[in-house]
Amino acid sequence: MKVLLVGSGGREHTLCWKIAQSSLVDEIFCAPGNGGIAQEAICIDIASEDIGSLMRFAKDNAIDCTVVGPEAPLVAGLVDAFRAEGLPVFGPEKNAALLEGSKIFAKEVLRDCSIPTARFGTFTGIAHAKDFIRNADFDLVVKADGLAAGKGVIVTSSKDEAFDAVETILLKKEFGSSGESVVIEERLRGEEASFIAICDGEHIIPLASSQDHKPIFDNDKGPNTGGMGAYSPAPIVDSTIWGKVMDEILYPLVAGLRAKGITYRGVLYAGLMIVDSTPSVLEFNVRMGDPETQPLLMRLSSDIVPVLITVAQGGSIRNIELSWETGPSVCVVMASGGYPGSYEKGKKITGIEHADALEGVKVFHAGTRLEGSSFFTSGGRVLGVTALGQDLPATIEKAYQAVSLISFDSAFYRNDIGFKALKRFA
């Protein structure tokens, strides 16, 4: 089987690494890929949103299954274009991808399906948005409606901060066209978790639980990023929470979309806030999380390819089961200094081979390029250093041991990935 993987980040490197383990797969191509992916697949110089060129490549090379990693090509309609040509492709179609492509659409679906979420309002004009803020008797989160690489969410603690956030998005246009409209919603206070599943349009296979760390600094301080680290499993998601997510969120969502004429096939990711053992939806994503994919697929002991190809071909996953390692996995993101703001590229990276040599460690590349035998930084989030172990304290220690072996100028990372979970065992 030939597989084409679309994307260039840490999520795609992890998917490539896992897909390559399958006995069903003979050859993997990745467009455009990165420095780490280049060691495990054939990288093709095609941008992830160049749908026409990707289709031609899939046809010319008899690709059996295309797997779409990032959200932008899904929102742009890549899956629709491939399916119209009879090409098997894993991911939701454009109308379903609106769950991530438009936060307003997602909130309206949540409301229509009676799925727990924060109180909210949606606005295109700044005057009405500010009126909503003035009249709100709760703290607020202001979100750009469209895609913003995980950075279009501004959490506020006062009305003045909320006013500033609205001006940042609607007036200053810091998120470009993604900020032509905003969602302003109640700020829920609890503990966040990621619940990621695979859906065939009717049946759902949940993946293991995980927890992301979005703020740039330790103790969840500073602006949000695309994610500074993650671990799996997340102890906050106990069996009760698990049941509520499946029965009160995911299945009602899939049924509600189907009632609207939308068949959801692909990865379905619910970003949750858990308050007093009750999960509420903060957002939906239509692809695997990054960096949640790294610890999740490190723990997955099953072959992932049968699930991907079944969904890509429009089949049923009802009788497919996935198996997981019992021990935890922890991913620490090493980022470029200055991220999520401006940062320099082209810094030489050393020590990756030493970290990779540690038992139970895999270094996944996000923003790297390969020149000869050397790696250089090419993005804000550079590496996802991931460890698998028997217990959480030892796994955290192993991940940071691996991090300590890697060096590049102005490297930055959080020092508290997984500590929230440790507190639950104290």
H helix or E strand, kind and range, residue 269: strand 265-275
Cis check for the bond before 32: say yes or no (omega within 30 of 0): yes
CATH architecture for the domain at 2-91: 3-Layer(aba) Sandwich (3.40)
Here the tokens at position 381 are 């989030």
Any idea which residue has 């500590």 for tokens? 419
What CATH number has the domain spanning 191-312? 3.30.470.20
Domain ranges of the chain: 2-91, 125-180, 191-312, 329-425
Cα-Cα end-to-end distance for the chain: 47
**What is the CATH number assigned to the segment(s) 329-425?**
3.90.600.10
Dihedral pair phi/psi, residue 89, rounded to 5°: -145, 140
281: its two tokens: 């939806």
Give CA–CA dist 358/223, Å, rounded.
32
Residue 384: per-residue pLDDT: 98
- Residue 422: the pLDDT is 87
* Distance, CA of 148 to CA of 135 (rounded, Å): 28
> What does the pLDDT read at residue 426?
52
Instruction: Tell how strand 27-32 and strand 42-43 pair up.
Output: parallel
pLDDT value of position 25: 98
pTM score = 0.94
Low-confidence ranges of the chain (pLDDT < 70): 425-426
Instruction: Output the CATH code of domain 125-180.
Output: 3.30.1490.20
Helix 126-135 × helix 159-166 angle, to 10°: 160
Strand partners, 358: none
